[in-house]
Amino acid sequence: MRTEGGIPPHDGMSAGPRKRFVKKRRPVSAADLAKEIRTGSRLALAKGITLLESRSPEDRKDSQELLLGLLPDSGNSVRIGITGVPGAGKSTFIESFGLMLAEAGHKVAVLAIDPSSTVTGGSILGDKTRMEELSRHPNAFIRPSPSSGTLGGVHRKTRETMLLCEAAGYDVILIETVGVGQSETAVRGMADFFLLLVLTGAGDELQGVKKGIMELADGIIVHKADGDNVTPAKRTAREYKQFLRMLQPATPGWQTTVHPVSSFAGTGLEDVWETILGFRDSMSVSGEWDKRRREQLKAWFRQSIEDRLIESFYASEGRKNEVERLEGKILDGRLTVTAAVEELFRG
């Protein structure tokens, strides 16, 4: 494989050994791997996810076969999306919340959507110092955010990883938003229940809450409600409750809840979990639970089609330059938008 211009690929050094490894595991068929994943083997699950993330056409084919085989076993979990204002302590919350559930016998998977990783190539969840205790728990499975690819690609990998985890018996999926941009919408689009972590001191303005995020939340956690902060956190929770009465709920028929929580002291965590179970029960009765999942699936499909169209359109360097050239002329008042679009699609 060669990139344009003859420059060797970035990971050229490792191509050899990796290929051998791939060859070694090739004899394991998708059906066999699916069987192993169903038994709950963490090794098989990790293998399956690696397959999903591979960009080789052959692996992609295998991974779709694997996924299709596991679809009937997926879906039996509570999918909890988690976002927060900067400094809200998301990792600490996930560690404590996840440990509480894992100790109670739940199987907990932690995934992440990180659109910023498409730019930096980095993976914040890959940082090994985070969620140290949870990551060692036999009932927990932590998967770093896919570290590269387009936003659509990262989104796809996280969704498919979630399905694989469910097939492996994980009944609580925590999907964390990482980085900036559209990760909240992406996570909302794959979660049953969406949690927003905030800090005390809402007062005059909801400190750091991005525009429109409040409307996505089914539950709000006022975090770090410990020590001297207990009383302010309770006051902030009241303020949020008042504020939320003015908004339409994120889920029809559900009034967004507010919870003071201390991950440090372990207080409020059970309350959050019971609320989520209550949500699942009443939404299952009303039919909203299944309806949302079906709508999410449809939206994922429609969005994937649009992403694919837009990606292929901008795939060529020449096309990108052409769009920028036309944009410059539009901004200078030398071309109309309509004429620019017609020029693009005629060419």
Q: Interface with its own copies by CB under 8 A: which residues?
A: 60, 64, 67-68, 71-72, 156, 159-160, 202, 204-206, 209-212, 215, 243, 245-248, 294, 297-298, 300-301, 304-306, 308-310, 312-313, 323, 326-327, 330-331, 333-342, 344-345
Both tokens assigned to 236: 């902030």
Q: How far is the CB of 305 from its own copies (least distance, A)?
A: 6
DSSP codes of every residue in 278-309: HHHHHHHHHTHHHHHHHHHHHHHHHHHHHHHH
Q: How far is the CB of 98 from its own copies (least distance, A)?
A: 27
Nearest to its own copies of 31, 277 (CB atom): 31
Give the number of other CB atoms < 10 A from CB of residue 194: 25
Q: Which residues contact 160 (CB under 8 A, 6 or more apart)?
A: 52, 63, 67
Please give the Cα distance from 130 to 125 (Å, whole number).
Answer: 7
Nearest to its own copies of 94, 196 (CB atom): 196
In this structure, are residues 222 and 261 in contact, taking their beta carbons and an 8 Å threshold? yes
Q: How far is the CB of 281 from its own copies (least distance, A)?
A: 24
Q: How far is the CB of 252 from its own copies (least distance, A)?
A: 11
Give the number of other CB atoms < 10 A from CB of residue 214: 18
Please give the Cα distance from 96 to 264 (Å, whole number).
Answer: 8
| Residue in 49, 55, 59, 62 with CA at minimum distance from that of residue 11 | 55
Nearest to its own copies of 15, 344 (CB atom): 344
Nearest to its own copies of 59, 226 (CB atom): 59
Nearest to its own copies of 104, 297 (CB atom): 297
Q: How far is the CB of 266 from its own copies (least distance, A)?
A: 30
Please give the Cα distance from 172 to 338 (Å, whole number).
Answer: 49
Nearest to its own copies of 4, 204 (CB atom): 204
Nearest to its own copies of 127, 306 (CB atom): 306
Nearest to its own copies of 132, 306 (CB atom): 306
Q: How far is the CB of 243 from its own copies (least distance, A)?
A: 6
* Residue 110: strand pairing partners: 142, 174
In this structure, are residues 246 and 78 in contact, taking their beta carbons and an 8 Å threshold? no
In terms of Cβ atoms closer than 10 Å to its own Cβ (0-12, 13-18, 19+), residue 228 is: exposed
Q: Which residues contact 151 (CB under 8 A, 6 or more apart)?
A: 115, 118, 181, 182, 186, 307
**3-class DSSP assignment, residue 192:** coil
Q: How far is the CB of 99 from its own copies (least distance, A)?
A: 33
Nearest to its own copies of 210, 292 (CB atom): 210
* Residue 257: strand pairing partners: 219
* Residue 267: strand pairing partners: 262
Residue 108 DSSP label: E
Q: How far is the CB of 185 from its own copies (least distance, A)?
A: 12
Q: How far is the CB of 299 from its own copies (least distance, A)?
A: 10
